Structure 1
Amino acid sequence: MTVWAGQFLSLLGSGLSGFALGVYVYRLTGSATTLGVIFALGLLPSILAAPFAGSLVDRWGTRRALLVSNAGNMAITLVLAVLLYTHTFQVWHVFPIVAVSSLVAALEVPAFGALAPQLVAKEQLGRVNGLRMFAVAASQVLAPVTAGFLLLAIQIQGIILVDFVSFLVAILTLLAVPIPAPPPTDEAATTGELRLWADFTEGWRYIAGRPGLLGLLVFLASVNFSAGFIDLLITPLVLSFASPGSLGTVLTLGGIGMVVTSVAVSVRGGPRRRVRGILGFSLVMAAATVLGAARPDVVLVAVAAFIFMGALGVAISTNQTIWQTKVEQRLMGRAISIVNMVSQVPQLVAYTVAGLAVDRVFAPLVGRDRVRSPALATLVGNGPGRGIALLMMVMGVLIALSVAVAAANPRLRGLEDELPDAVPETVAPPVPTTATAPR
């Protein structure tokens, strides 16, 4: 719980600064394409670093990897604070800041995913992942509302300093908890580029040699492609017909939806049949996307966001539990890093082309005064922002198609029965020796 509390504060601080900066950039530029570039820069460095980051997590251990990532985030936040306090901040500064933050996240994500099996028994993994999603969701709920008040009280400079302090607290909690050191390897002293690449390929062969895990990975990639469009376009969609305050309401209700389902998962452990749970809740996400795109109505979009994010919370935590139980601990960092890399590549493509797709394809159909497709206009309406809505509706349909294809894969459906668990039933508490001391 100590580590969880520290990570929750870190997520909340990042949520405050991320929301404030996102609204600032969009209101300043009014460009979905600019947002797409920023979102893409938030993924590309992480993707490029993934082959090495997972190996470093397995070699360094989760504590050291998380300490490095949190220290990196502190440095980034400090640079941003200096730019803001000296009144030299410009929009282009967001690009390198986001890129470096993405590079740091390449360590943080697999390290935190590999940490849970080291600290809790197998039957508790679902609940722990539910708590992790609760932290993510709660930060999404609190960040938009809190950021609005803090922008008035301490301005964006103060919010960035709050983010800095949150990372410091996260580091202190990591130092306070005993975490097992990584098992020694025959090549522990070798950390060169070739060795790290060999580690990465070993992790890939592990996944590729298990058709159920490979099928799950392909499904995640296909859903993330559609989710990338939705993630990027929700802000300009709402701002096309409502105020930034309404956008905050929509995002807050989405976070509440994830809070509700994450609490349920943390109490009950998630769906008993995990693959079916992932597919079923992904189908709910598809339906919510179509619903939210139907009309320019804040209430409708907010309800859709609540449903979508609630289903997403269950799907993410359940997926994480599958990988944590089916992958050997010595390969956990690499496996989770590969999952994130393969899932993020389609997101990167979506972020890159979403703005252009809206501006050049979908907006001319229903998003301007002269409607070229009356049939499509009956689905989503016409006028400003409806081209965005049409593209989001298409993405909802694509998620549903991905679920149908995945459900037809017998190796994916039988993953839980065919592939034995790779983690022990119980986890012994770490002995406070030099092997578990902070490194």
Structure 2
Amino acid sequence: MENQGRASVLAHRDFRLLFGGSSISALGDQFTLVALPWQVLRLTGSAAALGLVLAAMALPRAIFMLIGGAMVDRLSARRILLLARGANALLVATLAGLVLGGAVAMPAVYAIALGIGMATAFAYPAGSALLPQLVPPSQLASANALFMGARQLSLFIGPAMAGLVIGIHAGHGTAEARGLGMAFAIDGASFVFSLASLWLIRTATDRQPHATGRGVLGDVAAGVRQIWADLPLRAFMLYAAVVTAFVGGPIQVGLPVLANSRMDLGAASLGVLMTANGGGMLVGGFLSRVVARRAAGRLGMLVLCMDTMAGFALAALALVHSTAYGALLLAGVGVLAGIAQIAIVTWIQQRVPPAMMGRTMSLLMFTFMGIGPVSAAVAGSLLKLISLGALFVGAGLALSAIALGCLASPALRGIGTARPDGAPA
């Protein structure tokens, strides 16, 4: 039955176009995600500069995401996605040209990172709104499963491919610049496939754009009120925000520095670490349904216990000098994250009314994308004062302590139990 459901989803021409173009683009994104931190470290040698570049990319993405959602509601999701990905393609191609031409400098890197963040703020809500227009409601679950699997697969194979492209030209000067420039160029080329697929898609909203009856601020306020009134959902949002603040930035900044300063394969080591984490998340995604079923109403307890274990694994990165050992630890963290992520998203989808789903998910993404870059900038600055090992130990033990402390919260422990009216909680 599962295979029939997937075949039936892929029978839709427009869905195949979106899925194919988006999957190739997601794979290309991994080349920039590996090459950009490496480029910054080669230009500056500064973890603080890396944190600022990540913040320049992520802050506008978080701030403008809600505005992007409002634009999608008023115009065509396909056209907004075309414009956003077109802007991304131009920006990444410009960066590739600067690197290959030996003219790259940090002001240009900051400006391009800022532009990529703004374009992505419109691409995320547009992509989320376009998918339901291409398949019947009964097939949305299969469609989302295919997209999630493709994303995890890109996380699994993309960083290793990027590390290989950069690592072939390992060293200093022109040779390494060629490898980094090629990585950015591959990402730029992947956007061309996405743009071509979007150009061929036709939806009714292209001809009949619609406007919402309420402004974007009113929609955001209604979403916040809905979440605040739902105690378990509110508790999870606050938990996610605290975890992102204490853990997200140190890991995002720390891994490139770890590969650059300690490991034997350089950029290839960073690719291996990211690949191991993506592979773990892919495995966790496959295990999630079985694990969540066995949790039988104790999803909150399960997530908090897994986060506790993940924290200890992240703290152990302080002792890592081997690419293989680091990959093993991050693969384990990925398995735990994959299980928790899919289980929690499924719980939210079952709990939240369809009319509020977009705003709820946007606010959840806003929580990660708004706090994450600030955390990354702080972590980069902290590395001027503390060692890399201390950063990993602090972040990992903070995650374990937060998760263990939250076991005392009935609202978080109760995630996944049934409401008195029989609806999922």
TM-score, L = length of structure 2: 0.79
Q: Decide whether aligned partners of structure 1 residues 203 and 357 sit closer, same or farther in structure 2, where only a CA change above 3 A counts.
A: same
Aligned residue in 1 for 2:279: 256
Which region of structure 1 is more displaced relative to structure 2, 206-215 or 278-287? 278-287
Is 246-255 or 206-215 further displaced after alignment? Answer: 246-255
Which amino acid in the other structure matches residue 255 of structure 1? G
Change (3 A) 1:189 1:255: closer
1:33–1:355 CA contact under 8 A, matched in 2 = yes
Amino acid at match of 2:404: A
Give 2:103's aligned residue. Answer: 88
* Partner Cα separation in structure 2 for residue 180 and residue 411 of structure 1: 42
Aligned position for 2:211: 188
**Matches for 1:87-236 after TM superposition, within 5 Å:** 87-113=102-128, 119=135, 125=141, 131-151=146-166, 152=168, 155-174=179-198, 188=211, 195-225=215-245, 226-236=247-257
Cα distance in 2 between the residues matched to 1:200 and 1:344 = 16
Measured in 1, the distance between the counterparts of 2:414 and 2:202 equals: 37
The alpha-carbon distance between structure 1 residues 155 and 40, as it changes in their structure 2 partners (threshold 3 A), is same
SS at match of 1:342: helix
2:356 aligns with 331
CA distance 1:48–1:246, shift in 2 (3 Å): closer
Contact 1:200/1:334 (<8 A) preserved: yes
Cα 1:180–1:388 shift into 2, 3 Å = farther
Count residues in correspondence. Answer: 389
**Alpha carbons of structure 1 residues 246 and 164: separation in structure 2 relative to 1, 3 Å:** closer
Shift of 1:209: 1.9
The CA deviation string for residues 52-86 of structure 1, in whole angstroms up to 9 with x for no partner, is 23333444465444334322312322332443455
Identify unmatched segments of 5+ residues in structure 1: 363-386, 423-439
Identify unmatched segments of 5+ residues in structure 2: 1-9, 11-15, 170-177
1:270-329 Cα shifts (integer Å, max 9, x gaps): 623544443343233212212222343433322111111222222223333333333333
C-alpha change, 1:394 and 1:332, in structure 2 (3 Å) is same
Identity of aligned pairs, percent? 25
CA distance in 2, matches of 1:420, 1:82: 58
Change in CA separation of 1:78 and 1:240 when aligned onto 2, cut-off 3 Å: closer
Secondary structure at the counterpart of residue 43 of structure 1: helix
Give the TM-score of the pair, scaled to structure 1.
0.77
User: Which residue does 2:26 correspond to in 1?
Assistant: 11
Determine the C-alpha separation between the residues in 2 that align with 1:415 and 1:178. 40
Within-5 A mapping of 1:364-383: none
Does 1:45 pair with 2:57? no
The answer to whether the 8 Å contact 1:53/1:337 transfers is: no
Report the counterpart of residue 344 of structure 2 in structure 1: 319
Cα gap change, 1:86/1:123 in structure 2, threshold over 3 Å: closer, same or farther?
closer
Measured in 1, the distance between the counterparts of 2:24 and 2:290 equals: 23
Cα deviation 1:34-67 (Å, max 9, x = unaligned): 1111111122112221332333344446544433
Partner of 2:408: 408
Give the alignment's Cα RMSD to 1 decimal: 3.3
In 1, Cα distance between equivalents of 2:232 and 2:406: 11
- Shift in CA distance, 85/352, structure 1 to aligned 2, threshold 3 Å: closer
Aligned residues of 2:75 and 2:211 also touching (Cα < 8 A): no
Asked if the contact 2:277/2:327 (under 8 Å) is kept, the reply is yes
